Structure 1
C-alpha cells in the first residue's frame, strides 16, 4: 500500500458508498516550526561558539571544591527553609481558620507583611539586625537570670538566609495549607465533633492528615522555587552556590564563565527536584482525591467506636443476665 493510501481515512456514507478523506497539509505550521528551530540553533551557536567565553575555564570550575561546597549549602538551605516554612505555614493556616478573631488577625497580619515585602529586603534586614538589637537576650522576667548573645555573632549569613527565606515561605505555605484544609469534607470534622472530639483533636487527627496529602505535591513547586531563590543570599554572603561563584569571579574576572557554572548547577538541582516532585504527585495525587471524596475517615472512626460501644453494651447485658 502506498504512503498516500495510508494517510487516507475511509468514511461510509448513508448510501453505503465509501469516501476517502486526505488530511490537509499544514504548510504554515511547518514553516513556523522550521523558523523556530533555526532561531534556537542560531542562538545556541552564538553562545556555544562565542570566542569571549572560555569554556575550558567553565569545566575547570564546574567541579571545583568551592563550587561543590556552595552546592551543598544551597541544598541544605533550601531543605531547612522549606521545613521551617511548611511547619510555620501549618500553624498560621490553623490560626487563620480558628474561631478566635485575635488568632485570625495575627495570622492575616503575618501573611500580609511577609508577602507584601520583597525577600531581598527581608534578607538584608535580618543580616543587619544588630543595628536594631546589638544583643539578643533571653531573661526571666523581673530577674537578672538569663543569657545574652552578640547579635553579629549569631546572625551570620546562613542564619539570616534561613530566617529570611523560611519566614517568607511560611506566608505562602499558609495559604496552601489553608486551601488543603478547606478541601477536606466538612462533614468529617462535624462527625468527629459530634463523636466527642475537641477542635484541636479534630484538626490534628482528622483534618490535617488528609490535608497534608493534598499539600505535599505543591510543596515540590515551592522547593524548586526555593532552590533558585537562594541565589539572593549573595547579598548577605551565605556561602551558597551563587555567593561562592561571585567571590571567585571577583578575584579572576571570569564573570560569564562562573555564571554559566552556577546556572548549570541550578538546572541540575532543579531537574532532580522536578523528578522527585513528579513521584510525589503520582504517589499522593490520586490517593488524596480518593481520601477526600471517598468514605470519610471521621465517619469510619466513629462507626468503629459505635460498634465497640454496642459490643460493650451487649456484653454488659449478658453479664447482668448471668448474674441474675
Structure 2
C-alpha cells in the first residue's frame, strides 16, 4: 500500500484556491530609530548646571581652596580621621556581633529569648543616640560605685566607677549598643528572606542545625543583609560626629576646633566633607566586591 501526503498548505492562500492574499512589500520602507528628544534636553540641562557649579567652586574666593589644601593633610586632621575610623570599626564589629545574637534570639522558639530581644531593640531604637552617649559618659555621676553580691542583700565586693568608662569607651559602648538594635533587624530580615523549604530539606537530610545556619542560611541571607548593612555602616561612619558632644577628637570635632581658632569655617567644613566622601567611597567599593562574592550562583 502506497502512502501519499497532502500538498503543503500555503499560508498566503485564501479559502478559495484561486484567491491569493496580497503580500505587502517592506523593502522600500525606511527604518527610523526611536527618538528621545526630552532625554537629550535633560542631559544638556544637567551638564549646564554641573558646569555652573564647578565654575563656582573654582572661581568663588569664598571657598578658600588654599586653606583647604593646607589643612586637608594636617597632622591634627589625620589623627581625627583615624579616631573616626576606630569608632566606626569598633561600633560596627561589636554592634553586628551583638545584633546577630539578638536576631537569632528573636527567631528562636523560646518566648523568653524573643521577649528579651524585642525589648532590647525597642529600647535602643527609641532612645536617641546622643542620650545614650551622655548616659555612658556620665555613668560615674549616676552610679558612684558598683557592688557585686546577693541581689537586694549584702555585697561581696565593690569598685569605684569614676575611671571605669572613659570618653572613648563611652563612645564605643554607646555606638555599638545603638547599632546592635538596627543590626538585629537587618540580620533577622535577611534570614527570613531565605526559603524555609531549604531548611526543611536540610533537616530531612540530617544536617546539624549549626551547619544549616553556616552553610545554607547565612550565605543566602547575606544577599539581603549586605545592602542594608552597608547603609548602616556608612550612616554610623558619618554619625560618629555626634560624639563631638563628649569632646572626643574625631573628625568633625577637630574641624570645629581648628575653625574656632582661625575663623575659616567654610574651607574647614570642606576638609571634613572631603574626608567623609573619600572614606564613604572606599566603603562603597568594598561593599560592591563583597556583594559580588555572595552573588555567585544567584546572578549571571
Q: Same fold (TM over 0.5)?
A: yes
Secondary structure of 1:139's aligned partner: strand
Q: Cα deviation per residue 1:228-252 (whole Å; 9 max; x = unaligned)?
A: 1112221222221112111221222
1:205 corresponds to? 211
2: CA distance, partners of 1:273 / 1:248? 27
SS in 1 for 2:295: helix
Corresponding residue of 1:17: 26
Q: Deviation per CA, 1:139-174, whole angstroms, max 9, x where unpaired?
A: 2436654352434x3333322221221111111111
The total of aligned residue pairs comes to: 271
Counterpart Cα distance in 1 of 2:217 and 2:129: 27
CA change 1:50–1:58 in 2 (3 A) is same
Aligned twin of 1:267: 277
**Cα distance in 2 for residues equivalent to 1:282 and 1:121:** 38
Unaligned runs of 5+ in 1: 1-12, 291-324
3-state SS of 1:155 partner: coil
Q: Which residue does the alignment assign to 2:172?
A: 162
* Shift of residue 108, structure 1, vs aligned partner: 1.0
Greater fraction of residues in helix: 1
Q: Which is higher, the Rg of structure 1 or of structure 2?
A: 2
Which segments of 5 or more consecutive residues in structure 2 lack a partner in the other structure? Answer: 1-21
Q: Post-superposition shift, 1:24?
A: 4.8
Which residue matches 2:192?
Answer: 182
CA contact under 8 A between 1:114 and 1:167: conserved in structure 2? yes
Deviation at 1:260, TM superposition (A): 0.6
Alignment correspondent of 2:7: none
DSSP 3-state at the match of 1:99: coil
Q: How far off is 1:196 after superposition? A: 7.2
- Residue number in structure 1 paired with 2:94: 84
Check if 1:45 corresponds to 2:55. Answer: yes
From 57, 80, 84, give the equivalent of 1:74. Answer: 84
Q: Mean Cα displacement is larger for which, 47-56 or 61-70?
A: 47-56
1:139–1:60 CA distance, 2 compared to 1 (3 A) = same
